[in-house]
Structure 1
Amino acid sequence: MASSTINRWLRPEVYPLFAAVGVAVGICGMQLVRNICTNPEVRVTKENRAAGVLDNFSEGEKYSEHALRKFVRNKSPEIMPSINGFFSNPN
């Protein structure tokens, strides 16, 4: 019984599926850890929860303006701009 299950799921055709699901789970886990550790609105410890609502705008700005957002702010929203320009703007 167990060997037929292993033979069914551990085929080379299934490896890309495992990789895609693994990457998706990794991204979800990374976002969860980021929110728990650095989000100013999430308070895990009892002392922080007792503080109530804080008007800490600078901490919220620092959280929302992370490095990736700053990097892509002035970039064109294209995956391959040179190829897109080649096919859309013929000379």
Structure 2
Amino acid sequence: MGGGNRWLRPEVYPLFAATGVAVGICAFQLIRNISGNPEVRVKKDNRAAGILENFAEGEKYSQHALRRFVRDRAPEIMPKLNSFFSDPK
């Protein structure tokens, strides 16, 4: 049990953080699709219904809160910084 050879080194913490964020995003998307996507049917009764013409439910799923929030915004991450360097005074 020497102190020189550690199994978990501090250099790998950012790698664990990045991997954890990626796994979290994947889990979020999986749960969102299973629970809310109108084209995904987990129960056998729902699968037997065939193709449903439920346009309102599909519109509700595709136009979620984040998409409605960014709909009328410019596609920039830092608009003030971009305008500072690109707009002439």
1-side partners of 2:35 and 2:42: how far apart? Answer: 9
Aligned partner of 1:58 among 52, 56, 59: 56
Q: Secondary structure of 1:7's match? A: coil
Aligned partner of 2:73 among 63, 67, 75: 75
Quote the sequence identity (%). Answer: 71
2-side partners of 1:13 and 1:22: how far apart? Answer: 15
In the superposition, the TM-score normalised over structure 2's length comes to 0.91
Aligned length: 86
Structure 1 runs of 4+ with >3 Å offset: none
Deviations 1:18-56 (A, max 9, x none): 001100000000000000000000000010011111000
* 5+ long unaligned stretches in structure 2: none
* 5+ long unaligned stretches in structure 1: none
